[in-house]
Amino acid sequence: MLAEKTKSILRKSPATLCVALSVALFFPPVLHSAGEPSYVEEIRRYVAEDKVYLLENIRQKVTLPAEKLVIDALLSEDGPQAVTLYQRQLTQYPDPVLDQISTSRIAAYSLAKKSVMPLPKVTISEPSPKPNALRPIQESAKQPVALRKEQMKKEMAIATPKQTPPTIKAFTLQCGSFKSRENAEILAKRISRHMPVTVIRQGEFFKVILQTHYVSKEEATAAAKTMPFDTVVAQDL
């Protein structure tokens, strides 16, 4: 009797059966993730607040593949490996919030990679002798004393380089600002794997500052766009 009812339901609802089979075949991650907790809001907030190190606290709790890939990529110290993880998330486990994080991080890495230019080759050439050094001593001795003194002044002026005033570098990049020195040092440790960084106290805040300095705000702003992590332009402290 039960078998007859089942057959009757299947005959009446073939469309429902087709949809269920399609979901099972083509979207297995959707079925697998049903009922599993999501930490996507925590991931979005930590990235927006530049507190990526806090992802360690939820790393073992995350079970959804898309979130695991993004967390592993954010905490990875290997740039190419991180890009591969972001790309896997975008292609295999798309998510509106995580897609934005993956896309922006891939773009930042590509820009930083393009900005690394090889050092130019330096060619050392022998200095050519000064024309005055080729003059015979006898010819110099025959010149009047006043003329020789004037010639000596000109040669000394040429030989003495002009003193260029030192360049004042008034801007740097700030990676984060915390009331807790411990949190500032945790971020500084992570940033130091990529660039020299220091922690400076200003008032009641501990600021994580790059040790690289820039002449103008425009130069600092351009450099900030090439960093693989979020920074803001700040006055040199």
Q: What pLDDT, in 10s, does the model give residues 189-225?
A: 888 888 888 888 888 899 888 888 888 888 888 888 8
**What's the pLDDT tens digit per position in 10-24?**
454 554 444 444 444
Query: Is 215:90 a contact under the CB 8 Å cutoff?
Result: no
For residue 160, the 8-state DSSP code is S
**What's the pLDDT tens digit per position in 219-235?**
888 888 888 878 888 87
Report the pLDDT value the prediction gives residue 86, as an integer from 0 to 100: 93
Q: Mean pLDDT lowest for which of 32-36, 150-154, 165-169, 215-219? A: 165-169
Is 166's pLDDT higher than 80?
no
**What's the pLDDT tens digit per position in 91-103?**
999 999 999 999 9
Alpha helices in the chain (DSSP H): 2-12, 14-26, 28-33, 40-48, 65-75, 79-92, 96-115, 137-142, 145-159, 181-191, 217-224
**What's the pLDDT tens digit per position in 26-36?**
444 444 455 78
What Å distances lie between residue 108 and 193, 226, 230, CA to CA?
A: 17, 6, 9
Q: How confident is the model at residue 161 (pLDDT cuts 50, 70, 90)?
A: low
Across the range 31-47, mean pLDDT stands at: 80
- Judge if pTM exceeds 0.85: no
Q: Which residue has the higher pLDDT, 23 or 184?
A: 184
Domains identified in the chain and CATH numbers: 22-114 (no CATH), 171-235 (3.30.70.1070)
In three-state form (DSSP H/G/I as H, E/B as E, the rest C), the secondary structure along 74-85 is HHCCCHHHHHHH
Is 121's pLDDT higher than 50?
no
